[in-house]
């Protein structure tokens, strides 16, 4: 399904957060794959690539001095330290997408989400993805087999704190069934794009309607 692109449409920053393992990555990647006018913001991170991850696809993998230099030069729209690693959303590709009339999707933690909300409140929509239970989350993280048990248990312990941020988000989806969660996510995205204020092309369109003879 594609949504309507109009000249003069205001781009949307669509921000998703969740504890890792709650399915946010699969949901966000599918939303981007299904919408040609939605670009994914690829973050820079100092964390090491996991098996199967490719530089420039999941993340731009950089070392700490490179990350710090980028932060120093104000090259991030937002950045934060998450689980002892640094993550940041490079500003330039985001600005290019918005200038080209694209929307941008972010897969970032609550600190980054709230910092974008503070900086550009009118053009941001935030969605939090929750797992159906912590037990389910633990199962998913072990099944994914990308991290050591110690790392997984550390993340689960922090999840309890992270999910307290749920009520700062515009929307919350409980990802019990992938297809249902995806349908909810797509509905949110489509409805948000249709908001009047995001469609300034309606003003000349209305002028045209008014100018028509009855």
Task: Show Cβ contacts of residue 77 under 8 Å, excluding neighbours closer than 6 positions.
Answer: 89, 90, 91, 94, 116, 119
**Distance in angstroms (rounded) separating the CA atoms of residues 20 and 100:** 31
Minimum CB–partner distance for residue 89 and ligand 5GP (Å): 4
Stretch that binds ligand 5GP, among 103-111, 129-137, 175-183, 203-211 (CB under 6 A): 103-111
Stretch that binds ligand 5GP, among 31-39, 87-95, 174-182, 204-212 (CB under 6 A): 87-95
By beta-carbon proximity to ligand 5GP, the closer residue of 107 and 192 is: 107
Site for ligand 5GP contains 159 (CB under 6 A) = no
Three-state SS at 114: helix
Strand partners, 15: 106, 126
Task: Figure out which of the listed residues 13, 15, 82, 185 binds ligand 5GP, where binding follows CB under 6 A.
Answer: 82
Name the burial class of residue 75, with classes exposed (0-12), middle (13-18) and buried (19+) by CB atoms within 10 angstroms of its CB: middle
Site for ligand 5GP contains 103 (CB under 6 A) = no
Tokens standing for 98?
């918005």
By beta-carbon proximity to ligand 5GP, the closer residue of 89 and 102 is: 89
Minimum CB–partner distance for residue 87 and ligand 5GP (Å): 3
The values of phi and psi at residue 173, to 5°, are: -120, 130
Rule CB under 6 A: which residues touch ligand 5GP?
17, 20, 43, 47, 78-80, 82-83, 87-89, 107-109, 111-112
């Amino acid at each position: 399904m594609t949504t309507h692109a109009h000249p003069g449409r205001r781009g949307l920053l669509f921000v998703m957060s969740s504890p890792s393992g709650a399915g946010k990555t699969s949901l966000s990647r599918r939303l981007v794959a299904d919408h040609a006018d939605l670009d994914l913001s690829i973050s820079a991170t100092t964390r090491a690539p996991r098996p199967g991850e490719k530089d420039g696809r999941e993340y731009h993998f950089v070392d700490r001095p490179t990350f710090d230099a980028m932060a120093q030069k104000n090259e991030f729209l937002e950045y934060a330290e998450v689980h002892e690693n640094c993550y940041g959303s490079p500003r330039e590709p985001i600005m290019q997408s918005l200038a080209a009339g694209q929307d941008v999707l972010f897969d970032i933690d609550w600190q980054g989400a709230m910092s974008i909300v503070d900086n550009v409140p009118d053009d941001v929509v935030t969605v939090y993805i929750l797992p159906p239970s912590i037990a389910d989350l633990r199962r998913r993280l072990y099944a994914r087999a990308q991290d050591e048990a110690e790392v997984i248990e550390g993340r689960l312990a922090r999840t309890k704190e992270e999910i307290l941020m749920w009520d700062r988000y515009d929307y919350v989806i409980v990802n019990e069934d992938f297809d249902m969660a995806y349908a909810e996510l797509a509905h949110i995205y489509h409805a948000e794009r249709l908001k009047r204020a995001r469609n300034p092309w309606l003003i000349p369109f209305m002028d045209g309607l008014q100018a028509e003879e009855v």
